[in-house]
Chains A and B, each alone.
Chain A
Amino acid sequence: MAARSSRRRAETTPESPPGVEINGEQRDGAPSGEKGMSGADIQIAICGSAGDGTIAAGDILRNAVAEAGYKVISFDVYPPEIRGFGKCISRLRITTDQAYSLKERSDVLLSLDDSHTIPHVGEVRDFGAVICEAKPVGHLAEGEHLSAHILPGQIPYSLPIRELSEKATGGNRSRNIVALGYVAGLCDLPKAPFLRIIESKFKKQGPKVIANNAAGFGAGYEAGCQTFKLDDVHFAPPARALQPGAKVTILNGNHAVARGCLDARLTTFFGYPITPATTIMERLATELPRHGGRLLQTEDEISAIAAVIGAGYAGSRSATSTSGPGLALMGEMLGLGTIAEVPAVVFVSQRGGPSTGMPTKTEQSDLNAALYGSHGDSQRIVIAPTNVEGCYRCAGKAFEMAERYQTPVIVLLDLYLSNRYETVELSASGPPFELDANVHAKRLKPGEVYQRYVLTDDWVSPRAIPGDPGCMHVITGLEHNALGRPNDSEEMHELMSRKRHEKLQGALRHPDFTHVKRFGDAGKVEVGILAWGSTFGECLEAMIMARAEGIRCSAMKVVMLSPLPEAEIRAFLDDCGAVLVPELNYEGQFAQLVQGRLARPVTRLTRVPGGPMPVAAILAEIRRLAGRC
Chain B
Amino acid sequence: MLMEKPVYVDEKLREVLSSGRLEYRSKALPTWCPGCGYFAIVEGVTAALNDMKIPMDQAVVLSGIGCSSRFPFFVNTYGFHTLHGRVLPVATGTKVANESLMVIAVGGDGDGFAIGGGHLSHAAKRNVDITYLLFDNGVYGLTKGQTSPLSAQGFKTTTSPYENPDQPLNPLMMMLSYGASWVGQAYAGRPDHLKEMIAQAIAHRGFSYLHILSPCVTFDKTNKTYVNLGMIVRDLPPNHDPTHRMVAMAQAEQADAPALGLFYQESRPTLGDNLNSLIAKAGGDASAKPDRRKGE
**Which A residues lie at the B interface, using CB under 8 A?**
265, 267-268, 270, 286, 289-294, 296, 298-300, 302-304, 306-318, 332-333, 336, 340, 435-436, 438, 440, 465-478, 485-486
**B275 contacts the other chain (Cβ, under 8 Å)?**
yes
B contact residues around A465 at 8 Å (CB): 291
From B74-82, B147-155, B164-172, B246-254, the one touching the partner chain is B74-82
**B89 contacts the other chain (Cβ, under 8 Å)?**
yes
CB pair A310–B91 under 8 Å, yes or no, is yes
B contact residues around A440 at 8 Å (CB): 293, 296
Given contacts A292-B286, A474-B79, A474-B81, contact A436 B90 (CB under 8 A): no
CB pair A296–B96 under 8 Å, yes or no, is yes
Distance (Å) between the CB of B19 and the closest chain A CB?
Answer: 19
CB pair A289–B284 under 8 Å, yes or no, is yes
B contact residues around A302 at 8 Å (CB): 86, 89
A contact residues around B122 at 8 Å (CB): 298-299, 303
A402 to B179, CA, bound (A): 36
A317 to B76, CA, bound (A): 26
CB pair B79–A473 under 8 Å, yes or no, is yes
> Can you list 21 contacts pairing A with B, beta carbon distance less than 8 Å?
A268-B290, A291-B288, A292-B284, A292-B285, A292-B287, A306-B82, A307-B96, A311-B97, A312-B93, A313-B80, A315-B97, A340-B80, A436-B293, A466-B58, A468-B57, A471-B57, A474-B72, A474-B78, A475-B79, A475-B80, A477-B81
**B28 contacts the other chain (Cβ, under 8 Å)?**
yes
Given contacts A289-B278, A332-B83, A474-B73, contact A314 B93 (CB under 8 A): yes
**B177 contacts the other chain (Cβ, under 8 Å)?**
no
Residue of A nearest to B128 (CB): A296
B contact residues around A467 at 8 Å (CB): 57-58, 78, 98, 100-101
| Contact string against A for B residues 249-292, beta-carbon threshold 8 Å, 1 for contact and 0 otherwise | 00000000000000000000001000100110111111110111
B contact residues around A476 at 8 Å (CB): 72-73, 80-81
Max chain A Cβ within 10 angstroms of own Cβ: one of B88, B94, B286: B94
B contact residues around A298 at 8 Å (CB): 89, 92, 122
**B118 contacts the other chain (Cβ, under 8 Å)?**
yes
**Which of B77, B98, B293 is A438 in contact with, Cβ under 8 Å?**
B293
A531 to B51, CA, bound (A): 62
CB pair B76–A310 under 8 Å, yes or no, is no
A477 to B82, CA, bound (A): 6
A378 to B88, CA, bound (A): 23
Residue of B nearest to A304 (CB): B89
Distance (Å) between the CB of B236 and the closest chain A CB?
Answer: 31
Max chain A Cβ within 10 angstroms of own Cβ: one of B98, B271, B287: B98
Given contacts A314-B97, A466-B60, contact A485 B28 (CB under 8 A): yes
B contact residues around A468 at 8 Å (CB): 57
CB pair A309–B98 under 8 Å, yes or no, is no
Distance (Å) between the CB of B292 and the closest chain A CB?
Answer: 5
Interface residues on B, range: 35 or more
CB pair B57–A466 under 8 Å, yes or no, is yes
Residue of A nearest to B58 (CB): A467
**B45 contacts the other chain (Cβ, under 8 Å)?**
no
A122 to B73, CA, bound (A): 68
B contact residues around A333 at 8 Å (CB): 83, 86
CB pair A303–B119 under 8 Å, yes or no, is yes
A294 to B281, CA, bound (A): 12
CB pair A268–B96 under 8 Å, yes or no, is yes
CB pair B101–A314 under 8 Å, yes or no, is yes
CB pair B283–A303 under 8 Å, yes or no, is no
**Which B residues lie at the A interface, using CB under 8 A?**
26, 28, 56-58, 60, 62, 65, 72-73, 76-83, 86, 88-98, 100-101, 118-119, 121-122, 271, 275, 278-279, 281-288, 290-294, 296
A289 to B60, CA, bound (A): 26
CB pair B118–A300 under 8 Å, yes or no, is yes
A476 to B61, CA, bound (A): 12
CB pair A473–B78 under 8 Å, yes or no, is yes
A293 to B287, CA, bound (A): 10
Given contacts A289-B284, A467-B101, A485-B73, contact A477 B83 (CB under 8 A): yes
Interface pairs A-B: 8 shortest CB-CB: A310-B93, A292-B288, A307-B93, A316-B97, A474-B79, A289-B282, A306-B89, A303-B89
CB pair A289–B86 under 8 Å, yes or no, is no
CB pair A308–B93 under 8 Å, yes or no, is yes
A466 to B285, CA, bound (A): 23
CB pair B81–A436 under 8 Å, yes or no, is no
Distance (Å) between the CB of A278 and the closest chain B CB?
Answer: 19
B contact residues around A316 at 8 Å (CB): 93, 96-98, 290
A308 to B82, CA, bound (A): 13
CB pair B90–A307 under 8 Å, yes or no, is yes
Given contacts A299-B122, A302-B89, contact A472 B94 (CB under 8 A): no
Distance (Å) between the CB of A139 and the closest chain B CB?
Answer: 54
A315 to B278, CA, bound (A): 22
Residue of B nearest to A436 (CB): B292
CB pair A475–B81 under 8 Å, yes or no, is yes
A316 to B282, CA, bound (A): 20
A592 to B65, CA, bound (A): 36
A333 to B86, CA, bound (A): 9
B contact residues around A318 at 8 Å (CB): 93, 97
A58 to B76, CA, bound (A): 60
A315 to B98, CA, bound (A): 8
A436 to B82, CA, bound (A): 25
B contact residues around A294 at 8 Å (CB): 96, 275, 279
**Which of A309, A317, A475 is B292 in contact with, Cβ under 8 Å?**
A317
A440 to B296, CA, bound (A): 10
**Which of A296, A311, A332 is B94 in contact with, Cβ under 8 Å?**
A311
Residue of A nearest to B275 (CB): A294
Residue of B nearest to A474 (CB): B79
Distance (Å) between the CB of A437 and the closest chain B CB?
Answer: 10
A contact residues around B91 at 8 Å (CB): 310
Sample of 11 further A-B pairs with CB below 8 A, known A293-B279, A315-B290, A474-B73: A286-B282, A292-B288, A294-B275, A303-B122, A306-B92, A307-B93, A310-B93, A310-B95, A476-B72, A477-B65, A477-B82
**Which of A312, A336, A472 is B78 in contact with, Cβ under 8 Å?**
A472
Given contacts A302-B89, A303-B89, A476-B81, contact A314 B284 (CB under 8 A): no
A317 to B101, CA, bound (A): 17
B contact residues around A306 at 8 Å (CB): 82-83, 86, 89-90, 92-93
A contact residues around B92 at 8 Å (CB): 296, 298, 303, 306-307, 310
Residue of A nearest to B91 (CB): A310
A535 to B287, CA, bound (A): 43
Residue of B nearest to A475 (CB): B80
**Which of B76, B82, B86 is A472 in contact with, Cβ under 8 Å?**
B76
A430 to B251, CA, bound (A): 61
Residue of B nearest to A267 (CB): B290
A316 to B291, CA, bound (A): 7
A307 to B95, CA, bound (A): 9
Distance (Å) between the CB of A330 and the closest chain B CB?
Answer: 11
A298 to B60, CA, bound (A): 21
CB pair B57–A290 under 8 Å, yes or no, is no
CB pair A289–B80 under 8 Å, yes or no, is no
A477 to B66, CA, bound (A): 12
